[in-house]
Amino acid sequence: MSYALEFSEAIFETLEELGHSDAKRLRQVFLKILSLRRSPRPPDSEQLAHFKYRGFTGFRITQGEYRIVYAIDEKAKIVKLARILHRDRDYRELDRI
C-alpha cells in the first residue's frame, strides 16, 4: 500500500532553494522523498532517538549531503516530512520545529 506525503513549509523552502542553486541535487532529493511513498522505512533510514514530529517518532534518510527528517503516521498511512538538513547543520535545529 502506498503512503501519502505531507510536506512542511520548511521542506518546500529547502526544495525551492535547491531548485535555484542545484537542479541535480533537487532532483535527487525529491526522488528520495517520493520513494518514501512506497517504503517509509528503507534500509538506509534511521530512527531518531530524541525527536518526535507532530507526536510521531522521527526518522531520517540520507541523500548525498542532505538528511531528510520525517515521521510516519501508520494509522493514516502518511509520511510527514519535517525538514531537509545539510549534513553540516546541527540536529539541534530540530528542537525548534
Can you tell me the mean pLDDT for 26-45? 95
pLDDT at residue 58 greater than cutoff 90: yes
CATH number of this structure's domain 4-89, picked from the four choices 3.40.710.10, 3.40.50.1820, 3.40.50.970, 3.30.2310.20: 3.30.2310.20
| Residue 79: predicted pLDDT | 97
Q: All 3 cell numbers of residue 10?
A: 520548511
| CB neighbour list of residue 72: distance below 8 Å, 6 or more residues apart | 3, 40, 41, 56, 57, 59, 78, 79, 80
- Which of 2-11, 42-51, 88-97 has the weakest average pLDDT? 88-97
Query: Is pLDDT at 95 greater than 60 in this prediction?
Result: no
3-state secondary structure of 4: strand
Residue 96, pLDDT > 60, answer no
Q: Mean pLDDT across the stretch 53-64?
A: 92
